[in-house]
Amino acid sequence: MVSEHSEDLAQLLALLDVERVSDDVFVGQHPEQKTARTFGGQLLGQGVVAAARTLTRGTPPIHAVHAHFIRGGDVNKPMEYRVARFRDGKSFANRQVTAVQDDSEIFTMLVAFQDNTAGLEHAVQVPQVPYPEELPPLGEHFKGFEDRIATFVNALHPIDIRFANDPTWKAREAGEKLVDNRVWMRADGRIPDDPILHVAALCYASDTTVLDSVITTHGLSWGIDRLFAATVNHSMWFHREFRFDEWMLYATESPVAAGSRGIGSGRFFTRDGTLATSVVQEALIKYFPPKS
Protein backbone atom coordinates (compact mmCIF):
# COMPACT_ATOMS: atom_id res chain seq x y z
CA MET A 1 0.00 0.00 0.00
CA VAL A 2 1.15 3.54 -0.71
CA SER A 3 0.83 6.30 1.86
CA GLU A 4 -1.95 8.85 1.55
CA HIS A 5 0.52 11.12 -0.19
CA SER A 6 3.99 12.54 0.24
CA GLU A 7 4.58 16.25 0.74
CA ASP A 8 6.07 16.45 -2.76
CA LEU A 9 3.04 14.75 -4.31
CA ALA A 10 0.77 17.13 -2.41
CA GLN A 11 2.75 19.98 -3.94
CA LEU A 12 2.41 18.47 -7.43
CA LEU A 13 -1.36 18.10 -7.04
CA ALA A 14 -1.53 21.73 -5.94
CA LEU A 15 0.50 22.76 -9.00
CA LEU A 16 -1.88 20.85 -11.27
CA ASP A 17 -4.87 22.67 -9.77
CA VAL A 18 -4.47 25.64 -12.11
CA GLU A 19 -6.48 28.74 -11.20
CA ARG A 20 -9.20 29.78 -13.61
CA VAL A 21 -9.13 33.55 -14.18
CA SER A 22 -11.58 33.62 -17.13
CA ASP A 23 -13.45 31.09 -19.27
CA ASP A 24 -10.37 30.07 -21.25
CA VAL A 25 -7.43 31.43 -19.23
CA PHE A 26 -5.76 29.71 -16.30
CA VAL A 27 -2.75 30.49 -14.11
CA GLY A 28 -0.29 27.89 -12.87
CA GLN A 29 2.39 28.28 -10.21
CA HIS A 30 5.90 26.86 -9.86
CA PRO A 31 7.17 24.59 -7.08
CA GLU A 32 9.25 25.84 -4.16
CA GLN A 33 12.24 23.83 -5.45
CA LYS A 34 13.72 26.15 -8.09
CA THR A 35 15.32 24.91 -11.30
CA ALA A 36 17.01 26.84 -14.10
CA ARG A 37 13.81 26.92 -16.16
CA THR A 38 10.28 25.57 -16.01
CA PHE A 39 10.22 21.78 -16.00
CA GLY A 40 8.60 20.51 -19.19
CA GLY A 41 6.52 17.93 -17.34
CA GLN A 42 4.95 20.73 -15.31
CA LEU A 43 3.89 22.54 -18.49
CA LEU A 44 2.42 19.33 -19.90
CA GLY A 45 0.50 18.49 -16.74
CA GLN A 46 -0.85 21.97 -16.09
CA GLY A 47 -1.75 22.38 -19.78
CA VAL A 48 -3.73 19.13 -19.82
CA VAL A 49 -5.74 20.20 -16.77
CA ALA A 50 -6.44 23.63 -18.29
CA ALA A 51 -7.63 22.04 -21.54
CA ALA A 52 -9.91 19.57 -19.76
CA ARG A 53 -11.53 22.29 -17.66
CA THR A 54 -12.87 23.99 -20.80
CA LEU A 55 -14.80 20.95 -22.03
CA THR A 56 -18.52 21.51 -22.41
CA ARG A 57 -19.90 17.94 -22.50
CA GLY A 58 -18.27 16.12 -19.64
CA THR A 59 -14.74 14.81 -19.85
CA PRO A 60 -14.09 12.25 -22.60
CA PRO A 61 -10.72 10.49 -22.30
CA ILE A 62 -7.62 12.24 -23.59
CA HIS A 63 -6.20 10.30 -26.50
CA ALA A 64 -3.24 12.46 -27.58
CA VAL A 65 -1.13 15.51 -26.75
CA HIS A 66 1.43 17.15 -29.01
CA ALA A 67 3.57 19.86 -27.42
CA HIS A 68 6.26 22.19 -28.73
CA PHE A 69 8.61 24.01 -26.38
CA ILE A 70 9.45 27.50 -27.62
CA ARG A 71 11.57 29.07 -24.88
CA GLY A 72 12.49 28.42 -21.26
CA GLY A 73 10.05 29.57 -18.59
CA ASP A 74 10.93 31.81 -15.66
CA VAL A 75 10.45 29.79 -12.48
CA ASN A 76 10.00 32.95 -10.41
CA LYS A 77 6.83 33.99 -12.23
CA PRO A 78 3.44 32.28 -12.65
CA MET A 79 2.52 30.74 -15.99
CA GLU A 80 -0.59 31.78 -17.89
CA TYR A 81 -2.36 29.10 -19.94
CA ARG A 82 -4.57 30.33 -22.77
CA VAL A 83 -6.95 27.71 -24.20
CA ALA A 84 -8.39 27.84 -27.72
CA ARG A 85 -11.48 25.69 -28.33
CA PHE A 86 -11.07 24.04 -31.72
CA ARG A 87 -13.83 21.46 -31.63
CA ASP A 88 -16.59 20.06 -29.42
CA GLY A 89 -18.08 17.17 -31.36
CA LYS A 90 -20.18 14.18 -30.40
CA SER A 91 -17.19 11.90 -29.90
CA PHE A 92 -14.23 14.26 -30.27
CA ALA A 93 -12.96 17.46 -28.68
CA ASN A 94 -9.81 19.43 -29.48
CA ARG A 95 -8.02 22.20 -27.64
CA GLN A 96 -4.88 24.24 -28.14
CA VAL A 97 -3.11 25.40 -24.99
CA THR A 98 -0.48 28.14 -25.08
CA ALA A 99 1.63 28.93 -22.04
CA VAL A 100 2.59 32.61 -21.79
CA GLN A 101 4.84 34.74 -19.59
CA ASP A 102 5.24 38.50 -20.12
CA ASP A 103 3.33 38.17 -23.43
CA SER A 104 5.94 35.71 -24.75
CA GLU A 105 4.89 32.21 -25.75
CA ILE A 106 6.74 29.57 -23.75
CA PHE A 107 5.08 26.46 -25.09
CA THR A 108 2.07 25.36 -27.11
CA MET A 109 0.21 22.06 -27.06
CA LEU A 110 -2.64 20.39 -28.93
CA VAL A 111 -4.83 18.21 -26.71
CA ALA A 112 -7.25 15.74 -28.29
CA PHE A 113 -10.11 13.99 -26.51
CA GLN A 114 -12.03 11.02 -27.89
CA ASP A 115 -14.58 8.58 -26.52
CA ASN A 116 -13.25 5.02 -26.48
CA THR A 117 -15.08 2.51 -28.68
CA ALA A 118 -14.47 -1.14 -29.53
CA GLY A 119 -12.15 -1.93 -32.45
CA LEU A 120 -8.97 -3.75 -33.46
CA GLU A 121 -6.53 -4.26 -30.61
CA HIS A 122 -2.90 -5.36 -30.36
CA ALA A 123 0.25 -4.18 -28.58
CA VAL A 124 3.91 -5.03 -28.10
CA GLN A 125 4.88 -7.17 -25.15
CA VAL A 126 6.04 -5.65 -21.89
CA PRO A 127 9.81 -6.04 -21.25
CA GLN A 128 10.73 -8.57 -18.60
CA VAL A 129 12.26 -6.80 -15.59
CA PRO A 130 12.18 -7.27 -11.81
CA TYR A 131 9.06 -6.00 -10.04
CA PRO A 132 9.38 -2.64 -8.25
CA GLU A 133 9.27 -4.20 -4.78
CA GLU A 134 12.53 -5.96 -5.65
CA LEU A 135 14.27 -2.70 -6.59
CA PRO A 136 15.75 0.07 -4.39
CA PRO A 137 14.08 3.49 -4.11
CA LEU A 138 15.61 6.40 -5.99
CA GLY A 139 17.32 7.80 -2.90
CA GLU A 140 19.55 4.72 -2.70
CA HIS A 141 20.99 5.58 -6.12
CA PHE A 142 21.88 9.10 -4.96
CA LYS A 143 24.26 7.89 -2.24
CA GLY A 144 27.83 8.85 -3.04
CA PHE A 145 26.78 11.06 -5.94
CA GLU A 146 25.04 13.87 -4.00
CA ASP A 147 27.52 16.58 -5.00
CA ARG A 148 27.78 15.59 -8.65
CA ILE A 149 24.04 15.30 -9.32
CA ALA A 150 22.79 17.89 -6.83
CA THR A 151 20.21 19.20 -9.32
CA PHE A 152 18.41 15.86 -9.25
CA VAL A 153 18.86 15.25 -5.54
CA ASN A 154 17.35 18.62 -4.64
CA ALA A 155 14.48 18.51 -7.16
CA LEU A 156 10.81 17.93 -6.37
CA HIS A 157 10.20 14.17 -6.04
CA PRO A 158 6.44 13.53 -6.28
CA ILE A 159 7.02 10.30 -8.23
CA ASP A 160 8.23 7.03 -6.70
CA ILE A 161 10.90 5.84 -9.15
CA ARG A 162 12.54 2.41 -9.18
CA PHE A 163 15.26 1.81 -11.78
CA ALA A 164 15.40 -1.72 -13.22
CA ASN A 165 18.83 -0.84 -14.63
CA ASP A 166 21.53 1.53 -13.39
CA PRO A 167 20.64 5.24 -13.66
CA THR A 168 22.90 7.27 -15.93
CA TRP A 169 25.42 8.25 -13.24
CA LYS A 170 25.91 4.68 -11.99
CA ALA A 171 26.07 3.27 -15.51
CA ARG A 172 28.80 5.76 -16.38
CA GLU A 173 30.72 4.92 -13.21
CA ALA A 174 30.59 1.23 -14.19
CA GLY A 175 31.61 1.93 -17.79
CA GLU A 176 28.25 0.70 -19.11
CA LYS A 177 26.56 1.75 -22.33
CA LEU A 178 22.80 1.22 -22.17
CA VAL A 179 20.69 1.35 -25.34
CA ASP A 180 17.45 1.23 -23.38
CA ASN A 181 16.21 2.12 -19.91
CA ARG A 182 13.52 0.47 -17.77
CA VAL A 183 12.03 2.37 -14.86
CA TRP A 184 9.00 1.65 -12.65
CA MET A 185 7.03 4.77 -11.70
CA ARG A 186 3.97 5.71 -9.69
CA ALA A 187 2.79 8.76 -7.81
CA ASP A 188 4.24 8.86 -4.30
CA GLY A 189 0.82 8.44 -2.70
CA ARG A 190 -2.84 8.36 -3.63
CA ILE A 191 -4.25 10.56 -6.40
CA PRO A 192 -7.95 11.52 -6.35
CA ASP A 193 -10.16 9.48 -8.69
CA ASP A 194 -10.40 12.21 -11.36
CA PRO A 195 -8.87 10.54 -14.50
CA ILE A 196 -7.52 13.90 -15.72
CA LEU A 197 -5.30 14.13 -12.63
CA HIS A 198 -3.85 10.68 -13.37
CA VAL A 199 -3.15 11.71 -16.97
CA ALA A 200 -1.64 15.03 -15.85
CA ALA A 201 0.61 13.32 -13.29
CA LEU A 202 1.74 10.81 -15.92
CA CYS A 203 2.48 13.68 -18.30
CA TYR A 204 4.62 15.23 -15.58
CA ALA A 205 6.51 11.97 -15.03
CA SER A 206 6.91 11.27 -18.76
CA ASP A 207 9.47 14.08 -18.98
CA THR A 208 11.69 12.12 -16.57
CA THR A 209 14.20 9.52 -17.86
CA VAL A 210 12.82 9.58 -21.43
CA LEU A 211 16.07 11.06 -22.79
CA ASP A 212 18.37 8.85 -20.72
CA SER A 213 18.99 6.41 -23.57
CA VAL A 214 20.20 9.24 -25.81
CA ILE A 215 23.22 9.65 -23.56
CA THR A 216 23.61 6.17 -22.03
CA THR A 217 24.01 4.84 -25.59
CA HIS A 218 27.27 6.82 -25.51
CA GLY A 219 28.18 5.99 -21.91
CA LEU A 220 27.44 9.53 -20.66
CA SER A 221 25.59 10.82 -17.61
CA TRP A 222 23.55 13.83 -16.58
CA GLY A 223 25.27 15.96 -13.96
CA ILE A 224 28.69 14.40 -14.51
CA ASP A 225 29.48 14.99 -18.18
CA ARG A 226 29.17 18.45 -19.71
CA LEU A 227 25.79 18.15 -21.38
CA PHE A 228 23.18 20.71 -22.36
CA ALA A 229 19.64 19.50 -23.02
CA ALA A 230 16.44 21.36 -23.86
CA THR A 231 13.22 19.68 -24.95
CA VAL A 232 12.00 20.69 -28.41
CA ASN A 233 8.77 18.72 -28.63
CA HIS A 234 6.89 16.01 -26.76
CA SER A 235 4.02 13.79 -27.94
CA MET A 236 1.91 11.26 -26.07
CA TRP A 237 -0.81 8.82 -27.09
CA PHE A 238 -3.14 7.35 -24.47
CA HIS A 239 -4.35 3.90 -25.48
CA ARG A 240 -6.03 2.58 -22.34
CA GLU A 241 -7.14 3.93 -19.00
CA PHE A 242 -4.82 3.63 -15.99
CA ARG A 243 -4.23 4.83 -12.47
CA PHE A 244 -0.90 6.53 -11.92
CA ASP A 245 -0.91 5.84 -8.20
CA GLU A 246 -0.32 2.21 -9.22
CA TRP A 247 2.96 0.96 -10.64
CA MET A 248 3.69 1.50 -14.33
CA LEU A 249 6.83 0.47 -16.22
CA TYR A 250 8.35 3.23 -18.38
CA ALA A 251 10.39 1.44 -21.05
CA THR A 252 12.44 3.89 -23.13
CA GLU A 253 15.04 3.85 -25.87
CA SER A 254 16.61 6.26 -28.35
CA PRO A 255 16.20 5.36 -32.04
CA VAL A 256 18.33 8.25 -33.29
CA ALA A 257 20.54 11.20 -32.40
CA ALA A 258 21.63 13.56 -35.18
CA GLY A 259 22.02 17.29 -35.87
CA SER A 260 22.52 18.02 -32.14
CA ARG A 261 19.07 16.55 -31.49
CA GLY A 262 18.13 13.26 -29.91
CA ILE A 263 14.85 11.36 -29.76
CA GLY A 264 13.69 9.33 -26.80
CA SER A 265 10.72 7.04 -27.27
CA GLY A 266 8.94 5.29 -24.45
CA ARG A 267 5.99 3.15 -23.46
CA PHE A 268 4.12 3.04 -20.17
CA PHE A 269 2.88 -0.43 -19.25
CA THR A 270 0.57 -1.21 -16.34
CA ARG A 271 1.78 -3.79 -13.87
CA ASP A 272 -0.19 -6.55 -15.63
CA GLY A 273 1.66 -5.83 -18.90
CA THR A 274 -0.99 -3.72 -20.64
CA LEU A 275 0.42 -0.98 -22.89
CA ALA A 276 -1.34 2.17 -21.70
CA THR A 277 0.59 5.13 -23.15
CA SER A 278 3.25 5.83 -25.80
CA VAL A 279 5.68 8.77 -25.67
CA VAL A 280 8.11 10.40 -28.10
CA GLN A 281 10.30 13.35 -27.10
CA GLU A 282 12.84 15.28 -29.15
CA ALA A 283 15.46 17.43 -27.47
CA LEU A 284 18.41 19.59 -28.33
CA ILE A 285 21.36 17.79 -26.75
CA LYS A 286 24.91 19.07 -26.88
CA TYR A 287 27.93 17.27 -25.44
CA PHE A 288 31.12 19.13 -24.61
CA PRO A 289 33.87 16.52 -24.22
CA PRO A 290 36.76 17.27 -21.88
CA LYS A 291 39.73 18.93 -23.52
CA SER A 292 42.62 16.57 -24.08
Is 231 annotated as catalytic?
yes
Of the residues 38, 208, 231, 252, which is catalytic? 231
- Taking the C-alpha atoms of residue 15 and residue 27, their distance in angstroms, rounded to an integer, is 10
Largest CA distance in the chain: 63
| 220, 225, 231, 237 alpha-carbon torsion, rounded to 10° | 30
Is 103 annotated as catalytic?
no
> How many CB atoms within 10 Å of residue 243?
18
Of the residues 160, 188, 207, 245, which is catalytic? 207
CA proximity to 207, closest of 6, 12, 2, 11: 12
Of the residues 46, 270, 277, 281, which is catalytic? 281
Is 96 annotated as catalytic?
no
- Taking the C-alpha atoms of residue 237 and residue 78, their distance in angstroms, rounded to an integer, is 28
Catalytic amino acids?
Answer: 207, 231, 281
